[in-house]
Chain A
Amino acid sequence: MKSFSLQQRWANKYPELGTEPIPVEPNISAEYFERERERIFKRAWLNVGRVEDISGVGDYVVKDLEILRTSLLVLRGRDGIVRAFHNVCKHRGNKLAQSCSGGARSFICGFHGWTYDLAGKLVRVPDEEQFFNFEKSAYGLTPVATEVWEGFIFINLVADPAETLQEFIGELFDQFLGYPFSKLRPIVNYSAVVGVNWKIFMEIFQECYHVPNIHRSSVAEIGTGKDNPFGHLLSTRLYRRHRSASVYYNPAHQPTAAESLAFRYGPTILQGTGTDDFPSAPPGINPDKSSKWGFDINVIFPNFILDLANGSYWTQTFWPISVDRTLWEVKLYMEPPGSPGERIGQEFSKVLMRDAFREDLSQLETIQANMESGALTHTPLSDQEIVVRHAYKVVNDIVEGGT
C-alpha cells in the first residue's frame, strides 16, 4: 500500500493544470452557458438511466431536458434493444408520451391520434387519405443515438456522433468490469432544483476539502481521521475529460447504535469498506488497494457522477436549466432486500445519505449569489481541489477552443 501523505502531491503529478486561481466568470455568464449548451451538452454522450429502468418490452421513460431543449422518449423495443427518440409527434410537433414513465405497446399522439410503434415507425394516421403525396414511412419518430455501457443508457443528440460511447468513456471503459451493477436496484431517488450553476454543484461532490466543515455533524467523523484530519483523497486519477478519486475511510470510525444494528443485516454506506471486505473489487476501484478506502468518485464528463462503494453505489446527474439553476437527480442502489431486517438496515444508509446531501446543498445558492456579486473574480484552489481545477479546464478548453 502506498503511504498516506499530507504533502501536496497532485499538482506535481498533473503540472499541465497549473496552480493559478480559476475564474468565476464561467459560473455566472449566460453567454458562456449558451456555449456549454451548444459545444458540450448537444455533442456529448449523456446518461439517461439504466437498462433495468425499462426492463420489459415497451417500458419507457421520458426525459424532459431543458439543456437540450427537447423531450426524449427512451424505450425498450420488441427486439429487446434500447432506443431513444425525440418525444415529438412528426405531424404537428405535439409531445407524444406525456407521462414520465410507463409501459406501452404503441404511442398515440393526444392531438390527432397519429400512432407510432416501439421502433418509432408511424403505423396509423386517422383519415390518412386527406393528406397529399403522403408516405407514412417518411414520418417515423426522429431517432436519437443510444448506446449502453455497464447497463447505463447514454444518448447523444448528434445524429452521427463523432465518437462511439466506448471511445467517449475512454480510459474508464473496462475499469469496472465485474462490478455487480446488474444485481443492485435503486432503493430511493432524490432530486432537487437548486439555484446554482451546474459546475459549482458538481464540484462539491468531487472534493473532500469541505467534509470536516459542512459535514461536521454527520459524516466528517468517518471521512477524516487521526492520520488524515482534513480528509485528503487517497488518490485522484485525471483523464482526458473524466476523473476519478478514492475517498478516505477512518478506520477508527465509531458506529452509532443505529448504524451497528444496520450493519448486522447488510452493508451500509459507511461500513463494509476497505480491501479485505471487497476482494472482488475491479481494478478501477480503489486502485491503490488502500485499507482505508470508503468509496470511489467517478465523474463521467460532462454531468454524471458514479460513486462506487462495496455493496452499494449511487449516481448523480446534473441537468442545467439555466446558468444559475440546475436539476439534480440522485439514485442509491443496493441489493434487493431479502428480508425485512435487510430492508430496515438499508433505511439507515438512505436516511443518513439524504441528511448529508442536504448539508452539501446548504450553501450552494448563497455561493452562486456571491459569485454574481462582483466581490471575487477568481477563486484559489488547494492541491486537494485539483479535481475542481481539472473540471474547470476540461469544460473551458471546449467552450473557448470550440472543438
Chain B
Amino acid sequence: MSDTPTRSSTILLRVALSRVQKMTLLPQQFQELDSFVDRWALATEQERNARRRASTMGELQRFYNEMLPRMSGIIEYLNQYSLDSLPEEAQRLFYLALSFMEISPAVELFGEPDESGVFKATRFVICEPTTV
C-alpha cells in the first residue's frame, strides 16, 4: 500500500512541524527535559501544587532525578536574562525549575505527593502577586 500524495505530504508536514515545535520547546542544551514540559511548565504555584498532588510518587521521583543534576546549569543559563525578559523557551525552563522546588518536599521530606492528614490543600488559598 502506498500513500496518496496528499497523505504523505500531510505526514511530512506533521514531522516538520513536530521538529520545529521540538526545537523551540526548551533551550537546546536542555532538550532532554522536553518530555516534562507538558506536565510541569506551569505558570502558577496553584497549578504546580495541583499537579504535584495529582502525580504518583514514581512520576515525581523521575522528574526530580532528571532535574536535580541539571538545576545549577539551568539557573546559570536563566541568569543571563532578567526575570521580565525571558524568551519563550527559557520561560518554560524557568517554570520547570519552579516545579522542581514545588515537588522537592514531596521527594526529600514526605515520601508522598501530598502529606497525609494535613489541612486540605483545596481549602488552603494560594494567591501570588501578579508580578512573578
**Interfacial residues, chain A to chain B (CB-CB below 8 A):** 185-194, 217-218, 256-259, 261-262, 265, 337, 339-341, 343-344, 347-348, 350-352, 354-355, 357-362, 364
Report the bound CA distance from A218 to B101 in whole Å: 15
Do B124 and A190 touch across chains, with their CB atoms under 8 A apart? yes
Within 8 A of A (CB), among B116-132: 117-119, 121, 123-129, 132
Report the bound CA distance from A261 to B104 in whole Å: 11
Do A256 and B108 touch across chains, with their CB atoms under 8 A apart? yes
Do B128 and A188 touch across chains, with their CB atoms under 8 A apart? yes
Report the bound CA distance from A126 to B105 in whole Å: 58
Partner of B78, one of A340, A347, A348, A351: A340
Report the bound CA distance from A188 to B82 in whole Å: 20
B75, B123, B127: residue with the most chain A Cβ atoms closer than 10 Å: B75
**Category for how many chain B residues contact A:** 35 or more
Do B71 and A361 touch across chains, with their CB atoms under 8 A apart? no
Distance of A256 from chain B, by nearest CB (Å): 4
Do B126 and A258 touch across chains, with their CB atoms under 8 A apart? no
Do B102 and A351 touch across chains, with their CB atoms under 8 A apart? yes
Distance of A338 from chain B, by nearest CB (Å): 8
Partner of A190, one of B68, B97, B101, B125: B125
Do B123 and A351 touch across chains, with their CB atoms under 8 A apart? no
Distance of A128 from chain B, by nearest CB (Å): 39
Known: A261-B72, A340-B79, A341-B79. Contact between A256 and B119, CB under 8 A? no
Do B129 and A355 touch across chains, with their CB atoms under 8 A apart? no
- Answer whether residue B20 sits at the interface, using C-beta atoms and an 8 A cutoff: no
Known: A257-B108, A262-B101, A348-B101. Contact between A358 and B75, CB under 8 A? no
Q: List 20 A-B contacts (CB under 8 A).
A: A187-B129, A188-B126, A190-B125, A192-B119, A192-B123, A192-B124, A193-B123, A218-B110, A258-B104, A261-B75, A340-B79, A340-B86, A341-B75, A343-B94, A347-B45, A347-B101, A355-B109, A355-B115, A358-B121, A360-B119
Within 8 A of A (CB), among B73-116: 75-76, 78-79, 81-83, 86, 94, 97-98, 100-102, 104-105, 108-110, 115
Distance of A397 from chain B, by nearest CB (Å): 32
Looking across the interface, which residue of chain B has its beta carbon closest to that of A347?
A: B101
Residues of B close to A217: CB separation below 8 A: 109-110, 115
Do B75 and A258 touch across chains, with their CB atoms under 8 A apart? no
Partner of B81, one of A340, A344, A354, A364: A340
Do B108 and A258 touch across chains, with their CB atoms under 8 A apart? yes
Do A340 and B123 touch across chains, with their CB atoms under 8 A apart? no
Partner of A359, one of B81, B98, B115, B128: B115
Looking across the interface, which residue of chain A has its beta carbon closest to that of B98?
A: A347
Distance of B44 from chain A, by nearest CB (Å): 11
Do B126 and A190 touch across chains, with their CB atoms under 8 A apart? yes
Residues of A close to B68: CB separation below 8 A: 257
List 19 additional contacts besides A188-B126, A191-B125, A359-B119; criterion CB under 8 Å: A188-B45, A189-B129, A190-B124, A193-B123, A217-B110, A218-B115, A256-B104, A256-B108, A340-B83, A340-B94, A343-B83, A343-B94, A358-B115, A358-B118, A359-B118, A361-B118, A361-B119, A362-B117, A362-B118
